[in-house]
Each structure stands twice: as structure tokens, then as C-alpha cells.
Structure 1
């Protein structure tokens, strides 16, 4: 099982690793700088001694002067402990050498090569470390080849200093890493405190407290967007929960009426012996209630499929105006009875399921006729928008719907006029079904009130 570490632990670890890496790089840079400084010091000393030996050799004008060279070199090297010098003639004879000169053959072989002036480090047989250089210097004797001069200095004290220095340096790096890790943990804990507070507030949210919101203004800028997103999510959950609660309540209320009617009529019919005609009347009344229940269940199943994206419309191209005309013929008798004028303007072709769209149109026309007063009119207008969308608007005369009801007109069981709740004019699912059909076809639907009536319009992609 993979162990999941906390965000505080990860931030602390990353902070400590980054700080350790920086301290290590700085440590290596300081180490290299100190070593370079010691090398430059040693090279200054060695080059100075080469220059001194050069002057001494220039004073040698005859083989007899070589005897005084040793004394001059001894006098020049007094007080320079740890310095080794060897002067060799071209014939291999040693002209001068300090006691126990530790020059290796690898250094002497550099004579005449490009790297002869570069420092060379080695350990003497006794373990003493040296840094030295080799070169050729001319003497004052005319016609004599230059002498080979090797100069080296003991660097034991340098190495001892570097060992102690590196020991202290790595202790500082280790201590700095631990300190930065501890400080990183403190900083991470304090930095993530707003996130923990948001988590505590979110944990308090329940079905009864969906109105709680996170304080987006009181959190750091980096978390403000997260707080706003969570608040938006809570708002959507609150709205969905409210609608679900309203829907459950409305559904129970809608089902209670026909079930209560069926129970009452059945109990009355069974209270005493009745004639066949009386039983037939009861059964006919019950059949009407069963039909109402069946329509409601069918509509609810349709909406449930729509909510889960299970509605797959058939695809055929047809003229909307033809479908509206056919519905005018169907509702013509109702319109004539109430002296309502039906008018159609424009044309527009769409691609979709003809039966489903006819059902949506029928719901809009039925709703418009139901809320149009006698002597009014219902206008259906079809046109194509500049963005290649077919728009259909159903406008009816009458009292405008109040603005507070418009956003919820397409909710299930919602009625703007509460007096019609038990009027038997439907279960209040027609507009909800219409919206589901339009959305399944990739369109949009909305309602708006005008000065002399109301308009329900939807748009679909034009064929």
C-alpha cells in the first residue's frame, strides 16, 4: 500500500532539499575558493624563490663561482622552513640542494614542456605533501646551458587547515539543512492554515446548512479562486437540493390527489350494494384517475431519462411551420370556442425528432391557450437568426407573468398561478418536458413577459 504524505510534509521536504542543495553548492564554491587562494599563495612564494635563484645564477661567471653559490643559497633560504630547492646542471651534477630534497621524477620530466610552470602536488616518502614547480634558468657563464631548478613548499599546514575547515563547513551545511527543514515545516504549517480552516468550514456543511459560504476575501489570493469555486459548488448544491425537495413535496402532493380520489370513490362504492350502472360510473371515474396517474408516471420517466442523457432524438429535416399548422388544426376547436385567434408568421427548417419537437410545440401552444383570455390571440413567429439558429416564439396576450416566477417556469410541478394547482389542467410537467426536448436537440428555451402578454421562445440549430 502506497503511503500518502501530507502536503506539509512534502513542502517541508522540498524546502529542506532545496536549501541543502544551495548550501552544498555554496560549500563547494567556498572550498574551491580557499584551495585556489592557498595555491596562489604558494605560487607567489615559489615564483619569488625562482627569481631569487635566477639572480644568484646570473652572478656565477666561472666554475669557481659555483662554490659561492651554495653559501648564497643557504643564506637566502634561512627562515624558510618547509621549502625545498634543487639546482642541477646539464651534466647531471647537483649544484645545490636542500637536505632531503623530495622532488619526484614526474616533476623533473616536465622540463622543457608547456606544463613546466604549472604547480605539481605530491607526497614525499614520509607522507609530507609538497607543491612545486620546475624550470630552467641561465647562469652567467657564457656558452653554458641553463640549469634545471626545482622549487617546492610543504603544504601540510594547508591540508590540516582545509580538513578542519571542511569539517566545520559540512557541520554548518548539516545544521543549516536541519534548521531550514524545521523553519520550512513551521512556514508550511502557517501557510496552509487557511486551507485547514476552509476544510473545517466545509466539514460543517450538511443538507441543513447548505447556505454556508467560505470567506473568499479572508483567504490568500492563491486560495481565493478555490474558495469561490467551492462557494459556487455549494450554491449549485443548495439550488439542486431545494429543487429536489420541492419536487419531492410536489410529487407527493400530485400523487396524493388521484390516489385519495380513487380510495374515496372505491370505499363509497363498497359501502353498500349498488346497481351495475352505478358501479360502471365508479369504474369510469377511476379510469380517469388511473389515466392521469399513467400520464404523470410516463412524464416523470421521460424527465428522468432526459436528466441522465438517455434521450436520443431521431434525425430528420422538416419545416417547423408545417408542424405548427398541423397543431393549429388540432387546437382550432378549442381556440374557436374561446374566440382566440391563432396566427403563424415565418418559416424555418430544423433537423431533429419530429414527434418529440411536435410534443414540445404542443405543450407551448396548450400552455398559451390555457392562459389567453377570451377574445385574445396566440402568435407563433418563426425566423432564422444571424448565427444560423432557427428561432420559434409563441406569444399570447394576457396578464404578464411576474418577474419572480420567470426563472422557475420550467421547473417540475411549478405553477406561477397557485389557484390553478388543483384545477385538473395537467400535472405541471409540460414546460419541464419541453425544456428537456429542446436541450436534447442542442437548443435553448426561455420565457419573458411583455407589456401585453408573455413570450415563450426557443432556438434550434438551423437545418
Structure 2
């Protein structure tokens, strides 16, 4: 389904608002005019009633009645039948005037202002005003009524209504057109942003939207978009670096395998030499397999996979078990390990051993000989932290934030890459993420500290702590 533009929707909303406003204003004006016309007819009827009523009260003879009949007939004729007069007795018998009211069954019974419907004697609805009077000699009660044709007044009201409707339609249409024009002008900065975005070329990670000439409302949007581009740039740089690192790490064992295989095929070898060749090739293949498995493990962690084989353990006891795996490595480097603190947590103890072993291996690799590696376990609210500190060379600040990236090494020459392929700390971060935690690193006062955090209760915790 095709969606309408913002300018179109704004113009429609402007038109609806103007329609509601003009309708309310028009109804108010029409009601005001209707009241004004009604009051005008009322005043005109009262004026005529007050003018004729003394004549009726002073007529006591038949001749006087005849003169009154002729007078009222002349008045009615002079006004083209627009005004009519009646006199009734107490039995509603018409003493003066035609019988149109009695024929319609609308003889006024009460004093006041009322509306009577049209009939053959009247061209349209009439407004009627009735008063009471009496003859002086007989003290007989009579009713006197005067009516006025409302055709002119109703015509004025109808004409005003038609004019008001036409003006309203014109006004609503004008507001809609102006609203569309204003909305289109207001959306020009958005179109400029769109045109800027279209000029972005693949591979150009430094280009950003120009926010200097934008309205305040759009500056926030453009700055957010630029922030996305900044994060995208970092992600692409990391991806490119990762691809280069993967290629480098896999190229060395592949080159070794190809070279050794080509060399063995160019000469005849005895069984012992072939066994040595196969053993060397197996080592390279195992190294490649280790890299691939570690990369798959980290990809699962970054995709949101969490630890599933959860058990409640003592982190101090599990750390002590981990030392048993690297005891030989510690003895070779004349290093000792101290474990301080404890916390009870629900974790996957296999992944915990792997992460801690990697941190200890990193500490052994960079610790001074005959020094002590310290493992500190602490508990803070719903998190447990495990830190491994060693005495060694200080790490520069520009390296600290990237130490847990895949294949990142402080030593750019990649010395020792045949033994360590640069995924140990990245695996630590993956384990922390799978336990809804994170990693941290510090380098100060001659001590380097690497660590990770774990959620104490994996089943009830639902947020990562950064």
C-alpha cells in the first residue's frame, strides 16, 4: 500500500482543522443572525399591535367596526398581504379578518409570540403576535392578533447560509492549498538530507551529513544518523582488520602445509620421514582447527547465545581447579598464584575454566619471573567479578580498549603467533557475554589486571552490565 507524503497529510490536517473552526464559527454566526431576525420580526409585530390595539378598543358601534374593517383591509392591501390582522371573541369566533386561522385549527389561545404554518391563504410561514383587549361599554374580552410574513426574513437567513457555506468551502480549500505549500517548503530540509545521503558512496566511511544549515528539529536526527555512520565505520574497520587477521593466521599454516607437501612429493622418503611430515602437518591442521573453533564459539556469543549448562558453584573452588591445569606452566616460569575472595554463582563451570585459564595464560606470558599472579574474586549486587593481576610491563592507553578484540596484539610484529593466535582474550569476552557480563582491563603502578564479570543468577538476570 502506497503511503501518502507528510506534506499531503499536513495539508489534510490543516483542512480538517479549518473545517471544524469555520463550521463552529459559521453555526455561531447563523444562530446569531437567526436570533437577530426573530427579534426584528417580534419588535415589528409588537409595534403594529400597539399601534392598532387602541383603535379596536375604541370601536363601540357597527359603523365604527365597518370603518375599522376597511382600515385594516387597506393596511393589508398596502403591504401586499405581508401583514394580517384578526379579532376573536372568547369563543374563538372571528369578528374581524379572514377565517384562515380557524380553518387551520391554529386560533391563538394564549398571549405571546408564536409561529403558524403556511396554508392557501398565506404564502409562507407567519409569525403571530396575540394580545388581549376589551370593549369599554360591554366589558367583553376580545383577542387581537397580528401576523407578519417571514418570507423575507427566512430568505435573508437562507441566503446568508448559502454564502457562508460557499465562503467556508473556499476557505477550507485555500487553507488546504496553503497548508500543502507551507508543508512542502517545510520539508525541503528533509529532501536536502535525502539528497546528501544519496551522494554517499560505498567505501567512503568519512563522509557525514552537514548539520550546520538544518533546523533544530532535524539537527538531532542528522546527528543521530552521523552517529550511526561513526559506529558503522568502526564496525567496518574492525571487520576489515578481522578479515586481514584471519587471512594472516590461516596463511601461515596453509603455507607450511603446502610447502612441506610439495617438498615431500619432490623426493622419495622413508617411512620415518613421512611420519615426521604427517606429524608436522597434523600440528598445523590442529592449529587451524583451533582457530576455526574459537571463531565459531565467539560468533555464537556475539549472536546472543547464553550459557545453558548452569550449575551453582563456588568461584574460589573452581578457580583452584583451574590452577591444576596450568601448574606445569607456572613452574616453568617460577610463578605463584594467590586466590582471594569468593562468590557463589550459577555458571557453566567449563566455560569459566576456559576463560580463567586464558587470563592466567596471558598473565604467565607477560609476568616477571619469580613474581606472583593474583586472582581476585568479588561480589557486587548481582554480579561477580574475577580479576587476574600480574607484575609486568605497562600497557599504553591506546591499546587497553582493543585488547579483547580478535587477533589484536600489542606487538604489531606478531611475534609468537605460531604459539598464540590472538584469540585468548576474545574468548574471555565471549564467555563473559554468555554469562550476561563483560570484561575490564587496567594497567597502573606496574600491575596489569585483566578480568571479567558474571551474573550471579543466569536464569533471573536479563541485562548485560557494561
Match of 1:389 in 2: 383
State how far apart, in whole Å, the 1-side matches of 2:137 and 2:203 are.
Answer: 112
Shift of 1:142: 5.7
Contact 1:129 1:156 in 2 (8 A): yes
Contact 1:383 1:391 in 2 (8 A): yes
Shift of 1:103: 4.0
Match of 1:351 in 2: 346
State how far apart, in whole Å, the 2-side matches of 1:421 and 1:118 are.
Answer: 112
Q: Which of 431, 446, 452 lines up with 1:452 in the alignment?
A: 446
More displaced, 67-76 or 157-166? 67-76
Output aligned runs, 1:305-344, within 5 Å: 305-344=300-339
Match of 1:37 in 2: 36
Contact 2:310 2:346 in 1 (8 A): yes
Contact 1:377 1:397 in 2 (8 A): yes
Match of 2:23 in 1: 24
1:409 lines up with 2:407 in the alignment: no
Match of 2:234 in 1: 239
Deviation string, structure 1 residues 105-164 (Cα, Å, up to 9, x no partner): 55734413xxx5233053342662243224241224266342222211123322333343
Match of 2:106 in 1: 108
Match of 1:433 in 2: 427
1:131 lines up with 2:126 in the alignment: yes
SS of 1:141's equivalent in the other structure is coil
Match of 2:436 in 1: 442
State how far apart, in whole Å, the 2-side matches of 1:85 and 1:226 are.
Answer: 78
More displaced, 375-384 or 205-214? 205-214
More displaced, 59-68 or 418-427? 59-68
SS of 1:418's equivalent in the other structure is coil
Shift of 1:360: 0.7
More displaced, 285-294 or 77-86? 77-86
Deviation string, structure 1 residues 300-351 (Cα, Å, up to 9, x no partner): 1111222223444311011111122122233232222222232111112211
State how far apart, in whole Å, the 1-side matches of 2:242 and 2:17 are.
Answer: 57
Q: Structure 1 residues 145 and 64 mapped into 2: Cα distance closer, same or farther (>3 Å)?
A: same
Contact 2:345 2:384 in 1 (8 A): yes
Q: Structure 1 residues 23 and 121 mapped into 2: Cα distance closer, same or farther (>3 Å)?
A: farther
SS of 1:408's equivalent in the other structure is coil
Q: Which of 148, 164, 177 lines up with 2:143 in the alignment?
A: 148
Match of 1:84 in 2: 84
TM-score (norm 2): 0.89
Deviation string, structure 1 residues 32-82 (Cα, Å, up to 9, x no partner): 222221111000111222223333344356777645644675788796552
Which structure 1 segments of 5+ residues have no match?
Answer: none
SS of 2:147's equivalent in the other structure is strand
Output aligned runs, 1:7-406, within 5 Å: 7-60=6-59, 66=65, 69-70=68-69, 82-90=82-90, 94-97=94-97, 103=101, 108-112=106-110, 117-125=112-120, 128-141=123-136, 144-216=139-211, 218-385=213-380, 387-406=381-400
Shift of 1:388: 3.7
Deviation string, structure 1 residues 361-408 (Cα, Å, up to 9, x no partner): 1111111111112233211111222x2422211111111211111111
Contact 2:383 2:456 in 1 (8 A): yes
More displaced, 453-462 or 33-42? 453-462
Shift of 1:186: 0.4
Contact 1:447 1:455 in 2 (8 A): yes
Shift of 1:437: 1.0
More displaced, 271-280 or 102-111? 102-111
State how far apart, in whole Å, the 2-side matches of 1:223 and 1:302 are.
Answer: 42
Match of 1:420 in 2: 414
State how far apart, in whole Å, the 2-side matches of 1:237 and 1:107 are.
Answer: 90
State how far apart, in whole Å, the 1-side matches of 2:306 and 2:455 are.
Answer: 18
State how far apart, in whole Å, the 1-side matches of 2:79 and 2:323 are.
Answer: 122
Q: Structure 1 residues 437 and 118 mapped into 2: Cα distance closer, same or farther (>3 Å)?
A: farther
Contact 1:321 1:348 in 2 (8 A): yes
SS of 1:454's equivalent in the other structure is strand
Shift of 1:352: 1.0
State how far apart, in whole Å, the 2-side matches of 1:421 and 1:57 are.
Answer: 131
State how far apart, in whole Å, the 2-side matches of 1:422 and 1:16 are.
Answer: 74
Q: Tell me the number of residue pairs that the alignment of Structure 1 and Structure 2 aligns.
A: 456
